[in-house]
Structure 1
Amino acid sequence: MPDTAPAPTRTDDAQQTVAQDAQGGPAGARRPAGGDRPERGGARSGSGGGRRERGGRRERRPRERQRQEFEQQIIGIRRVTRVVAGGRRFSFSVAVVIGNKKGKVGVGIAKGTDTAASIDKAVRDAKNNLITVPMTEDGTLPHEVRTKFASTELVIFPSKGGGLRAGSAVRTVLEMAGVKNAASKILTRSKNKYNNARATIEALKLLRP
């Protein structure tokens, strides 16, 4: 009687199939782990791109340079010491000349603990003391003037076509006023620039068109 081999059992295959069904199908049909993460990452990148786009839309406007109405020049800075009960206190005294070179000029002086603050105060003081200088068409003075301020005595007279012949703070004041042809002479030995500038202002006040 021939031997009959037992029929092969498919228990292992069935178990493997059941395991695949429990895991959601064969390995090839499985969803990648964290399948939603790339979408979230894509949304983030998109939002980042939107931010860059919004940032790119911003246009920087060039700052308009404001032209100053008056030019200014410092004619003197002094360090002042005051002795008080608690000791010594230091401050700065600044003298400034401002003008538009079109007939307006002023001199100011101020004190402060800081040079920058003192300059600002002096400029404000000069603006409060502006005067208008009458001039002829060729940029000279209409007539001669003579004045005295403190220890400074000077004379200013017109000079047609001779240029500006003046020194020290007198020249600075005349330049800021826009005077192109004039001459001056200090009759005293005063070397105080502020007094010389103030004397020039007092002399220009005496001009009549």
Structure 2
Amino acid sequence: MSNTNIKKVRTSDLELKDRLVSIQRVTKVTKGGRTFSFSAIVVVGNENGVVGYGLGKASEVTSAIAKGVEDAKKNLVKIPVINGTIPHKQEFRYDGSLVMIRPAAPGTGIIAGGAMRAVLESVGVKNV
């Protein structure tokens, strides 16, 4: 797929809301014992067509989430949303995963779970 149509957005004067997608405890085993740290995946968006994601890693949960939000604000893109849904069908395959999003009739809502639900709600697809 070509990434030529991706429009980057700057964070100036945007009211962004963040959603925590996942948090994982990571263990590093050394000769001296185990060292625990956390990684957090965060999605931010203004619910009006702008969305971004970020990954933060730190030794505390709150620090990992804060780093994820800062990283997500650096990766904002503009997504077209027309009448509360996307304008056309998109499919993307990566390894064993298939992500397929389609426009929906009014009143259908979001039929997705986990990370895709967080991304679609952050971009402004209506859950009505």
Fold match (TM-score > 0.5): yes
Q: Deviations over 1:170-190 (max 9, x none)?
A: 111100000127xxxxxxxxx
Q: 2: distance between equivalents of 1:150 and 1:119? A: 27
* Aligned-residue RMSD, C-alpha: 1.6
Residue 166 of structure 1 deviates from its aligned partner by 1.8
Q: Deviations over 1:128-174 (max 9, x none)?
A: 111110121x1111110000234321211001212222222211110
- Give the paired residue count: 113
Higher strand share: 2
Larger Rg: 1
Give 1:176's aligned residue: 122
Give the counterpart letter for 2:102 in structure 1. F
Q: How does 1:35-114 map to 2 (within 5 A)?
A: 69-114=15-60
Give the counterpart letter for 2:90 in structure 1. V
Residue 92 of structure 1 deviates from its aligned partner by 0.6
Q: 2: distance between equivalents of 1:122 and 1:179? A: 23
Q: Secondary structure at the match of 1:166?
A: coil
Q: Is 1:124 the equivalent of 2:70? A: yes
Identical-residue share of aligned pairs (%): 43
Q: 2: distance between equivalents of 1:165 and 1:92? A: 30
Higher helix share: 1
* TM-score, structure 1 normalization: 0.51
Q: 2: distance between equivalents of 1:126 and 1:151? A: 25
Residue 133 of structure 1: which of 76, 79, 82 is its match? 79
Q: Is 1:167 the equivalent of 2:113? A: yes
Whether the 8 Å CA contact 2:48–2:81 is kept in 1: the answer is no
Q: Compare relative contact order (CA 8 Å, sep 6+) and give the higher one, 1 or 2.
A: 2
Q: 1: distance between equivalents of 2:96 and 2:16? A: 29
* TM-score, structure 2 normalization: 0.81
Runs of 4+ residues deviating >6 angstroms: none
